Structure 1
Amino acid sequence: MDRLMPPVHRCLGMLAMPSKLSTDFAVAFQQLTGLAPFPWQEDLYRRFISDDTSGRIPSVCRIPTGLGKTSLIAVWWIARQHGASLPRRLVYVVNRRTVVDQTTSEVERIWQKMHALDGGEHFAISTLRGQYADNRQWLANPSRPAVICGTVDMIGSRLLFSGYRIGFKSRPLHAGFLGQDALIVHDEAHLEPAFQKLLETIQDEQQKERERNGDLPWPGMHVMALSATARSNAKNVNSEGHQPFELTRKENSPPNVIPEPPTEPIHHVWRRLKAKKTLRLHACDDEKKKLAVDVVERALQYKDSGKAILVFLRTVEDAMSTIGSLESEFPGQVAPLTGTMRGYERDRLVQGNPVFARFMPESDRPKNITLAKGTVYLVCTSAGEVGVNLSADHMVCDLTTFDSMTQRLGRVNRFGDHNDAGVDVVHPNPDSFDEKHPLALARKATLALLKHLHGDASPKALGELPADSCIAAFSPEPSILPATDILFDAWALTTILDKLPGRPPVAPYLHGVAEWEPKRTNVAWRDEVELITDELIEREGGNFPRELLADYPLKPHELLSDRSDRVYGALQTLIAEPSKSLKGEKHQAALDRAQKNTQTHVWLIDESGSVMVTTLGKLLDDDKKRVIAWLEDSTVLLAPSVGGLSEGMLDPMSSDADDVADHWLDENNQPRRQRVWDDAPPPTYEDNGSTKLMALIRTIDLNPLSDEIAEPNQEGELEREVASELESNQISNSRQGRFWHWFARPRDTEDATRASSRPITWDHHTHDVVTRTTEIVQELDLSEDLEQAIILAAELHDLGKQRIIWQRSIGNPNPSDWHAKPGKPTHGARWRPRHLSNYRHEFGSLLDVEEEHAAKLAALSDEMRDVVLHLIASHHGYARPHFPPEAYDHERYDTQQNQHAAHDAMRRYARLQRRYGRWGLAYLESLLRAADWAASAEPSPVPTTHEVKA
């Protein structure tokens, strides 16, 4: 079994300040949430702080929608603050990314309340949207508690060492932190049975590793399935004999008459369980042709109500048709929410859409927003079913499977505030279902269940339906592929980037294989697709596009997702000859656009991060089935000039599209990263009242053979022009310069080597890393020999930077003056890092340690010697299991010495993975990596004498 975590004062270290958080749970819960706790929340708290280690964390938690499930985050935090032995990281996994994610809102509120109580930072957070979206706070310090909110794809791919849209260097870091000392809470687990099975398999595999190889000095991964509905009648008794955690008996037994107004927390539970939702069923004669028409007709029955009407439809086509019809009747009173919207536009819904705000709880609404008046409609596909904190007055929808239907019903009169909520379900005649459709039987069974409700769609009525009948009405369970120890081994080999026999893509293991669900493709737009030429790729190497995406990763707000066949059709339309109905100048303009698009680059990115660069014409000239197969589970990166985007959705008839990569913003709407041209000043940002420089992470020379560089004239007109264009965010490709500088805040860089805004000497950085490492390991319950090994690795990790070739690669004008970080000196020109060789400084460090510090290694046990050398080798993601030959150090060592060190690194990786397990070794590596990254992001003050003058 996992070792118990150390007492809370040891876990929190410098965060363990005298807290104003009450020692009484009910008072503390109200301090953090503004609400008195429900009985089930008090029950869970008692479970968390109990001495019964086997039952402390329930494996199954069944709480109905609308009863505060996300508040278990507050319960976890209070329990930890009160000394409970719980994992440091709570990872809350939602089915899909939505606009108004309840978990995000809950976490941000709790953090703000804690900040108001005590000041300080408390736990780190990373959320799906908003000011903490996709940040790296949780990776900065493994001893710091953290809450991470993510989707099945985001969290699942990272757990399997295959993180989508992160470079291979960072994948072990994510896997280690998510897979150790973490509580994975899988919300609505019944919707993703394959992922739930995968989590349980990983948990079991980790337990086997510990039993086989000996316990580890930190806890492993714990899994909690959070769902109101189960796909099985099984009692879900865990291995220790504990039943699922549920509402208390009293909560589950509301009286006939509920006190009004409610005066006790349990009154609110009863109110929500018995929330009035009058169900009406309407048959549709021809679902294929008339469904949208009938839904609109039912929706318009509420046109004079002045209420917020929620409309759900299964297909994007029906949703768009419905939106068009309602918009014609109520212009400006209709908002869409589909899974095919780009994240940027979906986020803007919550930021200021007056229609959407009508469906949000008051606590979630943006400040100072003016609500739309009168009757409003929100038209959704399944994107609005899960994780969205919405409450409509009435709902109109088509018929779906029971698991989806219960999610939809949870978005109507969510809090039981009124007694006239209506639900209108438009369904096919029982004898007109398309029997060939894989969901036909489940939809038929769902219709029978709805009829059985006799007009009462309250949560209590749903909970009293026969369990067997409910299970029969679920969407069919996908084929669940077994994840084996051999697969875990293969996925953990993160430095092998090419396709590896026996290492399949991870997507089918996250979602299962459901033949009835169409495959999907992500689409995004980036300027570099058009600006990075074939000649530049040939000069920089075939992996250049992949390296660019690792430096400047695609973020969720840049992506839209649609069916792969629809994406294929849209791409075809972008290069198709215009219709003959167009005449004259319009026909010629459309023809010119199609011909230009045919020759324009497109980047096709598979789930492993490999990039295929071609043109739209060449891509689509291949066999249709083969192209669609390439598109499945991949990302298509287009140039904005090709168009194809309208109101955040894929529209091949639109000539518009934009690059929003720089719109990754913080809570003050400041960019976290920025790309600028030529010699524009480095971008700045505000941090705690002071202005700081971003770190230069890459300079791209778009014309490396040119001898001329555009220089600003004496009046600085060019610089002012660049600054003006940056401010308007409308840099024209026709006015691009030669040098394209990519910046990011030091905390938001993927590669710690480039995380500084100013040059940092080798001595100074090494001292900072040792200091950070010491702080981290002293806050963890590690053995003394392991602590000392990790600190020694920090002391020696960057020896390989003491090479002329490496110093020149970071732009050091005096390469014999050892520096660890490039940047811009206070007095002098900005250093311009450039690619000179594939030498890896950590490989040079390995060689130097064994050559020059053999005495320090000899004082260690064999295992600790392996730990020191592996942490040095892996602190930028290599040595899992290997270094490529081009990484060798030929400046100081001969080929035989290089080969010997490379072979030893692979054998050492295998030994340590057997000892610490796959996720345990990744976690161990991450202790030094986190310290290195934190020291790079926030270096200690540097005397001016350390800076290199121009």
Structure 2
Amino acid sequence: MSSEMISLSFDTTFKVLTGHAPMCWQRRLFERMLAGDLPDAVDLPTGIGKTSVMAIWLIARALAGAETALPRRLVYVVDRRVVVDQATAEAERLRAALEGNAEHSGALDAETTVNAPQIAAELKKRLGIEDDGSLLISTLRGGKADDRAWTYDAAAPAIIVCTVDMAGSRLLFSGYRMSRWSRSAQAGLIGVDSLIVLDEAHIAPAFHKAVQNVLELQKQTSTPVQIPALKLLPLSATSHEDGPGTVFRLEVDDYDDSLVACRTGRTRPTKRIAFEALPGVKDALRDALAERAAAFDGTSRTVLIFCNSRAVASDTADTLRKKLAKSRGVKEADLTEDVALITGARRGKERDALVEKETYRAFTYKDGERDLPTDGRTRYLVCTAAGEVGADLDADAAVMDLVPLERMIQRLGRVNRRGECAGAAPVVIRYDPAVLQVSASDREEKKAEAMRLAATKAALEALPRLDDGFDASPVHLSALDPNARRAASTPPPEIPTIEREHVEAWALTSLKDHPGRSDVEPFLRGIVDDEPQTMVAWRADVAYLARLPARKVEAALAAARLMPAEILEAPTREVAQFLRDRIKAFRREREEAQESGEESSPSLRLLALKRGRLIGRGTIADASAILEFSAAGDQRTELALDWDGKRNEEIENALAQATLLLEPTFGGLDQDGALDAKAAGRDDLHVQPKDVDVQQGLVIRLVTPASENGEAEVRLLTVPPAFDSAKAALRQYEIAPAVRRRLGLRRAWFAELPPEDEDPDDSSSVLEYWRHWDIDGETGAASQSQGLGEHQAEAKAEMGRLTLRLGLPPELADTLIRSIAIHDSGKARVIWQDGVGAPRDGRPYAKSAGRGPGAGGYRHEFGSLRDALYKEEIATALAGLSDEYRDLALHLIASHHGRARPSIPAQDEEEIFPSVLDEDALQAAIRYVCLQRRWGPWGLAWLEALFRSVDATVSRRLEKDGEADTSATREAAQ
């Protein structure tokens, strides 16, 4: 294929996927990707479509053919947790275009419209996406929950959008919000055959270095066969430093594109900045920002206000509403759709709901046009740093305080982003002259900050003059003197280097604790002196969980992990003060309710956890509010939550980096999702997912003791909206099998609650969690039973298809196929069959629709390992493999559910000598260590991930077949 044909193919396909023709720089980057020549960094101005890297990668991956070194997975990393995930929206648009449902289809020319279905179908075919399949997309951030479909097919193209913490913790075998049994598999998939695209790389220097460290460590391992590479592509609109390697930038010819010329200010200025000093009075910044913003009312449709402080942002929004209400002659309550806040320290649900509001939509585009309300009023967004990065906002005017240069550039990139304003968009920068002055008595940190802000002001004043201000168009910002940039920018934090010893300790994922395991956060964020944070969530089951032992509480929250939409994260100091103030307000509310004869809430409970472990229980009553805190071991301390005074460092130390679970009755959350000590309790504080997220839904039932007539009462604590129509069925003591299959529900966890009156003779209630299990091979439960032989035969055939699609070398492919053919043989044990409630006839089964008591600690993987070692009829499957590959096969069998890294429970009913079992488990650990040295940490984890993905695929296929059979039966009955 000639380069001309490649260019034409790219142009047409790009237009089908995005709705518009590519720019020159996009063609150049595509050609480099196609040739496998990725630059070391991409440095482009804000507003010219850096997220199109996704489309460019997708097309290059398709057109390059099977031999390309371009990774199958694109991991798009954005540091800030913003209200809307622009990267996810971009990925979803690409998927819709591949499926023939592009929102931009009406914007295509006639010829492209006619050819679009064939182009999309051919693109899917070349990508290896089956006709009934789609581009896999997962979001590990915001209010979205991880769709793990990308982990079930290691050969399929996928886009994973995530934060630095989510991507980095997974890469380093420490996946946040994951069980330790799943961490190695995701480390393998993120660290192999993935292209990590780091957006706004300048604000995540530690993560950037961490990935570079991983790349260096991977180069140091000479694997038996070549493992698909991990690649890194940093994007930035700010960093113009000349570092090692090649940097992809705009070239002279790129400005021939009218869109590039327009958005960068090459044709005409896009924004004009002007500095205004603040008066030296109290609340000067708040009043000045609000006054300047109000002056744009009626002349600009959209105005951004940036504040460095969350408190200033909140006060500015309140002051602005008052000014607008007065000037417009309306009530402040009438301005709820005109002024909105984008700040941190808000719950995910409310933060993500902002995207649906008219205020926010006024700053965005829909089908290529401004999504402005038709009422003609001016809309305002008041933002902290949360609105500086990641959100595709576009304002007609802006008012802001002065911050270091790299943040100023990000802010300016949200003003007249597309260059469509009639003239240069006005930007007013209010600053305090006193803050720029350096005194000999100042601390070093304060001196450095003053000098940095003074350098920022000087750098921006060095821009070309424009009327009574300065031309801050991207073309001029990119030309700022490098020395001036350095002086005005925040220096990176101290960043530790990842050594092999760190990775080897992190990779021991089957160990709950390890003395040599470092916290990964300093490697992802740098060593910074930031305020400790605390996460807060409201759950309907807190009062009942508080009655259980710690291990059961931890098991419950492992079975029903907090969703991002449930969580509010705020500085620990603020959380502690909020608790104190809310307790006092709560008591006043109770007193008022009692005086008026209303029923008031009894004493409330709260729980505190850290890294999945219960560290504290609290009780809030009329006379006391105590947190019983356990710092380590059995040492317990009682801390008063209703202290007097300003700060309580003991409480702050206890809650630092912890997760605090509160009862919805306690309240404390305002309508915008922020902590508010005056906000009363609400029934809707326990977050329920939307219907589209039903798989993340959690049904919590409280089954009370049977009454004298033998009937038990079932109380539903939570029911996701999608299950509303099934409430009557869910209230049954036993949820009928037909109902379970129809709803896709499984009992994920349950526990008998101790009697409230502490009478041991009283029968107890049972707390149950039911959820739509995402069948991934991790469980023996299924909607229908499946024989062991059938399951392993299907897994063998599926592994054959996967190794062929991946193009694995014959000996490695043969090892994977042979080993998965016997991976579940240990399920044939009586203890396992009884434990999953397998039918008596037709045993052994790999999957069971029944319910059993569990296998009592026996791991079927260990049984499978011992079968492969000692049972001739099983061991024959590995005959003829070299010693190295036989060891690999044995390890994959032992580790296919996350154990044997390095430990696995040494239990097997077919061996009476414990010493033999212990020796087998020891040899499994030694085998793991040797194989990790041979294949490297990520290479071995990737091979394990392939194994697990096949098991998951076969298990999910069985579940879908069962659901299809149930649906067909129901339709026939109807």
TM-score by structure 2 length?
0.81
**Other-structure match for 1:101:** 85
Q: How does 1:96-495 map to 2 (within 5 A)?
A: 96-116=80-100, 117-118=120-121, 120-127=132-139, 133-209=145-221, 213-214=222-223, 216-230=225-239, 233=241, 235-238=242-245, 243-251=246-254, 264=258, 266-268=260-262, 270=264, 275-286=269-280, 289-305=283-299, 307-328=301-322, 329=325, 331-332=335-336, 333-350=338-355, 352-363=356-367, 373-418=376-421, 419-430=423-434, 435-436=442-443, 437=446, 439-453=449-463, 454=465, 455-495=470-510
List per-residue Cα deviations over 1:64-95 (Å, max 9, x = no partner).
11111010111111111111621111111001
Q: Is the 8 A contact 1:807 1:815 kept in 2?
A: no
- Structure 1 unpaired stretches of 5+: 1-6, 8-19, 255-262, 707-735, 824-830, 946-950
The residue that corresponds to 2:904 in the other structure is 883
CA distance in 1, matches of 2:783, 2:681: 35
Q: Answer yes or no: is the 8 Å Cα contact 2:88–2:139 preserved in 1.
A: yes
Indicate if the aligned counterparts of 1:398 and 1:427 stay in contact, CA closer than 8 A: yes
- 1:756/1:305 Cα in 2 relative to 1: closer, same or farther (>3 Å)? farther
One-letter amino acid of the structure 2 residue matched with residue 769 of structure 1 = A
Q: How do 1:570-649 residues align onto structure 2 when only pairs under 5 Å count?
A: 570-576=578-584, 585=592, 596-597=603-604, 600-606=605-611, 609-615=612-618, 617-619=626-628, 621-622=638-639, 624-647=648-671, 648-649=673-674
Q: Which among 919, 923, 926 is matched to residue 945 of structure 2? A: 926
From 911, 919, 923, the equivalent of 1:904 is 923
Q: Is the 8 A contact 1:287 1:427 kept in 2?
A: no
CA pair 583-39 structure 1, distance change in 2 beyond 3 A: closer
Corresponding position of 2:127 = none
- The aligned residue for residue 765 of structure 1 is 791
- Asked if the contact 1:274/1:459 (under 8 Å) is kept, the reply is no
Partner of 2:971: none
C-alpha change, 1:428 and 1:754, in structure 2 (3 Å) is farther
2:536 to 523, 528, 531: 523
SS at match of 2:174: coil
Whether the aligned pair in 1 keeps the contact of 2:293 and 2:399 (CA below 8 Å) is yes
The change in CA–CA distance for 1:87 and 1:744 in structure 2 (over 3 A counts) is: same
Once residues 128 and 880 of structure 1 are traced to their aligned partners in structure 2, the CA distance between those partners, rounded to angstroms, is 25
Residue range with higher mean Cα deviation, 860-869 or 845-854: 845-854
| Cα separation, partners in 2 of 1:109 and 1:426, compared to 1, 3 Å | same
* Greater shift in the superposed pair: 30-39 or 612-621: 612-621
- 1:168, 1:877 within 8 Å by CA — same for their partners in 2? yes
Residue 2 of structure 2 is aligned to residue 36 of structure 1: no
8 Å CA contact 1:314, 1:381 repeated in 2: yes
What amino acid does structure 2 have at the position aligned with 1:502?
A: G
Which residue in 1 is equivalent to 2:43?
Answer: 62
Closer, same or farther: CA 533–130 of 1 in aligned 2, 3 Å: closer
Measured against aligned partners, the alpha-carbon deviations of 1:76-117 in whole angstroms (never above 9, x if no partner) come to 111111116211111110012212222111111111111113
Shift of 1:181: 0.6
Q: Which amino acid aligns with 1:203?
A: L
How far apart are the structure 2 equivalents of 1:627 and 1:596?
Answer: 20
Aligned mates of 2:743, 2:403 — CA distance in 1: 52
- Structure 2 counterpart of 1:183, which letter? L
Distance 1:594 1:628 in 2: 27
- What is the one-letter code of the residue matched to 2:208? Q
- TM-fit CA distance, 1:501: 2.1
**Residue 856 (str. 1) matches residue 906 (str. 2):** no
Structure 1 residue 49 corresponds to structure 2 residue 34:
yes
Asked if the contact 1:315–1:381 (Cα under 8 Å) also holds between the matched residues in 2, the reply is yes
Q: Give how far 1:481 is off.
A: 1.4
AA partner of residue 227 (structure 2): W
Q: What per-residue deviation string (whole Å, max 9, x for no partner) do you get for residues 756-788 of structure 1?
A: 333333333323322322221121121222112
The one-letter amino acid paired with 2:387 is G
1:842, distance to aligned residue in structure 2 (A) = 1.1
- The 2-side partners of 1:504 and 1:480 are apart by 14
SS of residue paired to 1:98:
coil
Structure 2 residue runs of 5 or longer lacking an equivalent are 101-119, 122-130, 326-331, 620-625, 630-637, 641-647, 704-713, 726-740, 757-763, 967-974
| TM-aligned CA deviation for residue 520 of structure 1 | 2.1
Cα distance in 2, alignment partners of residues 279 and 399 from structure 1: 12
Change (3 A) 1:404 1:544: same
Letter aligned with residue 487 of structure 2: A
- Residue aligning to 2:681: 656
Alpha-carbon distance change, 769 to 697 in structure 1, aligned in 2, over 3 angstroms: farther
2:682 paired with 1:698: no
Match of 1:856, SS state, is helix
Which deviates the most, 94-103 or 619-628? 619-628
Give the distance between the partners of 1:274 and 1:697, measured in 2 at CA: 63
Counterpart of 2:807? 781
Deviation at 1:632, TM superposition (A): 3.3
Q: For residue 349 of structure 1, report the CA deviation from its aligned partner.
A: 1.3
Contact 1:273–1:459 (CA<8 Å) still a contact in 2?
Answer: no
Following superposition, the deviation at residue 589 of structure 1 comes to: 9.8
Aligned AA (1:440):
A
What is the total number of aligned residue pairs between the two structures?
A: 847
* C-alpha spacing 1:674/1:266, structure 2 compared with 1 (3 Å): same
Answer yes or no: is the 8 Å Cα contact 1:64–1:228 preserved in 2: yes
The Cα of 1:878 is off from its aligned counterpart by: 0.7
Instruction: Check conservation: 1:275, 1:459, Cα contact below 8 A.
Output: no
Partner of 2:835: 809
Change over 3 Å in CA distance of 1:76–1:132 after alignment to 2? farther
Alignment check: 8 A CA contact 2:364 2:370 kept: no
Separation of aligned partners in 2, 1:879 and 1:89: 27
Per-residue deviation at 1:822? 3.9
Following superposition, the deviation at residue 494 of structure 1 comes to 0.7
C-alpha separation in 1, matches of 2:546 and 2:264: 64
Distance in 2, Cα, partners of 1:579 & 1:132: 35
Paired letter, 2:489: F
TM-score computed with the length of structure 1 as normaliser: 0.82
RMSD value, Cα: 3.5
Alignment pair present for 1:509 and 2:535: no
Taking the aligned partners of 2:596 and 2:518, their CA distance within structure 1 comes to 45
Deviation (angstroms), 1:288:
6.5
Q: 1:629 to 1:661 in 2, by over 3 A?
A: same
Distance 1:471 1:634, change over 3 A: farther
Residue 771 of structure 2 aligns with an amino acid whose one-letter code is F
Cα distance per residue 1:710-745 (max 9 Å; x no partner): xxxxxxxxxxxxxxxxxxxxxxxxxx9745242124
Whichever residue aligns with residue 559 of structure 1, its letter is I
Work out the CA distance in 2 between the residues paired with 1:705 and 1:863. Answer: 56
Residues 574-627 of structure 1: CA deviation (Å, up to 9, x unaligned): 4348799x9962697999989824xx1313122xx3333422522574494354
CA distance in 2, matches of 1:674, 1:590: 35
Q: Percent identity?
A: 34
Q: 1:560 aligns with which of 559, 564, 568?
A: 568
